[in-house]
Amino acid sequence: MKILAIDTSCDETSAAITDNEVILANVISSQVQLHKKWGGVVPAIAQRAHKERIVPTIKEALQQAGFKLEDIELIAVTYGPGLAIALEVGVAKAKELANQYKKPLVAVNHMAGHIYANLAKNLAGKAPVEKIEYPSLALLVSGGHTELVLIKAGGQLEIIGQTLDDAMGEAYDKVAKILGLGYPGGPTIARLAKQGDSRAYSLPIAMKNSQDLNLSFSGLKTAVLYLVKQLIDSSNDRKLSKQQIIDIAASFQRVAFESVILKLERAVKKYHVKQVLLGGGVIANTDFRRAIRAALKPFNISVAYPNLIKLCTDNAAMIAVAGYYQFQRGEIVNNIDRLDRDPIASL
Ligand code: KG4
Ligand code: ZN
């Protein structure tokens, strides 16, 4: 089945073509350069860029796959969660194409997309996992979400733990801002942390003693802010040294990893899961993957993640694959004209 998928949930305009789960094209037009000078995503700028880029992005995906719109058999689109006015652009285009070309439409939850990125196959037919082994556990960590999702038989998803305030990627971005490292901060902190002493500063692990599976990152961010203020106040030139920045990045990252891994281990034990699937932008961090693998080694279960960074961060191929599974379950949009975006859609 040839699928066209669209994702405009945040600051990347993406269109993909797959043949079932096999990725034939996954075009991502990033807006990072547009938002950089504002230090974060500006919704109105994102919407304008999506409007300008959606048609060329779809065209390029079709061209790369060697198809015309007439060849497409299913259209999949992200309806939420995300920025309302950004989601709107993709949803409107998907509805227009589904009506014009008389194709079935599936509305995909963006977070389900991050899970299904693990089932996306390359041209050789290889995917991080062949199939979901129930019960499976997904850890989704992005700029907007930090969730532990239990995947029960039949593909039913249940959020069993989540952040009560900032998402982990958001904490990376905010700490990067405090350290004067620019936007987006995740990749920069990850790079600097490699050279730093992760034990140089002690920072708090939030929710450590709470028995539930929820997380919190805003306290960690505030602790970094106070630490930076204190270091600046006691310095002669009233700024952080390069070494201090690197050590704070490493210490922040260690504590962020530890807080997530603590709850991940608890969830694996509690639900006796057979498999752990990782997804979302922060999973692009190789040290994070390594730390998760090491922590879960004693459980002797498979830990999978998308091999390509492009499949960890926002992209439409993951929406195509999730859409493919939804179509198999018969979950198509019955009334195309009434489909609306849902910025706070939950799994
Ligand atoms: O999944 P994603 O592309 O978009 C959302 O749906 O939010 O995730 C983006 C987030 C940003 O906060 C970014 O700083 C973070 O992922 N990120 C990273 C890395 N690469 C991206 N965080 C830590 N280490 C990385 N290497
Ligand atoms: Zn995402």
What does the pLDDT look like over 187-237, one tens digit per residue?
A: 999 999 999 999 999 999 998 999 899 999 999 999 999 999 999 999 999
pLDDT digits (tens, 9 = 90+) for 50-68: 999 999 999 999 999 999 9
The arithmetic mean of pLDDT across residues 73-84, rounded, is 97
161: β partners: 148
Helix, strand, coil: what percent of the chain each, to 5? 50, 20, 35
Residue of the CA atom closest to atom 3 of ligand 1: 313
pLDDT value, residue 36: 86
Tell me the CA distances in angstroms from 244 to 171, 239, 287, 288, 298, one per residue in order.
Answer: 18, 10, 20, 22, 35
275 Cβ closer than 6 Å to some ligand 1 atom: no
pLDDT digits (tens, 9 = 90+) for 18-28: 999 999 999 99
144 Cβ closer than 6 Å to some ligand 1 atom: yes
Q: Report how far residue 160's alpha carbon sits from residue 140's, in angstroms, rounded to the nearest whole number.
A: 12
- Percent of the chain beyond pLDDT 90? 92
Note the maximum CA span of the chain.
Answer: 69
CA of 151 to the centre of ligand 1 (A): 23
Q: Report how far residue 283's alpha carbon sits from residue 306's, in angstroms, rounded to the nearest whole number.
A: 8
Q: Which of 11, 118, 168, 172 to mutate to test ligand 1, by most ligand atoms within 8 A of the CB atom?
A: 172
41 Cβ closer than 6 Å to some ligand 1 atom: no
**Does the pLDDT of residue 184 top 90, yes or no?**
no
**Does the pLDDT of residue 310 top 80, yes or no?**
yes
Q: Report how far residue 193's alpha carbon sits from residue 179's, in angstroms, rounded to the nearest whole number.
A: 13
CA of 238 to the centre of ligand 2 (A): 37
80 Cβ closer than 6 Å to some ligand 1 atom: no
Q: How confident is the model at residue 39 (pLDDT cuts 50, 70, 90)?
A: confident
78: β partners: 108
DSSP 8-state code for residue 97? H
Instruction: Report every protein residue that has its C-beta within 5 angstroms of ion ligand 2.
Output: 142, 314
111 Cβ closer than 6 Å to some ligand 1 atom: no
Instruction: Report the mean per-residue pLDDT for the chain.
Output: 96
pLDDT value, residue 153: 85
40 Cβ closer than 6 Å to some ligand 1 atom: no
Of all atoms in ligand 1, which is nearest to the CA of residue 284? 26
**Among 30-39, 109-118, 291-300, the least confident range:** 30-39
284 Cβ closer than 6 Å to some ligand 1 atom: yes
pLDDT value, residue 155: 74
Q: Report how far residue 28's alpha carbon sits from residue 14's, in angstroms, rounded to the nearest whole number.
A: 4
The structure tokens listed for 270 are 């509690």
The arithmetic mean of pLDDT across residues 80-88, rounded, is 97
pLDDT value, residue 338: 97
Secondary structure (DSSP) of 300-313: T-EEE--SSHHHHS
Residue of the CA atom closest to atom 10 of ligand 1: 143
**Does the pLDDT of residue 38 top 90, yes or no?**
no
151 Cβ closer than 6 Å to some ligand 1 atom: no
Q: Which of 142, 174, 192, 194 to mutate to test ligand 1, by most ligand atoms within 8 A of the CB atom?
A: 142
Contact by Cβ (8 Å): 3, 73: yes
Q: Which of 14, 170, 282, 315 to mutate to test ligand 1, by most ligand atoms within 8 A of the CB atom?
A: 282
pLDDT digits (tens, 9 = 90+) for 259-301: 999 999 999 999 999 999 999 999 999 999 999 999 999 999 9
Of all atoms in ligand 1, which is nearest to the CA of residue 312? 1
Question: pTM value?
Answer: 0.95
Residue 320, SS3 per DSSP: helix
CA of 91 to the centre of ligand 1 (A): 23
Among all ligands shown, which has an atom nearest to the Cα of 141? 1
DSSP 8-state code for residue 155? G
**Does the pLDDT of residue 154 top 80, yes or no?**
no
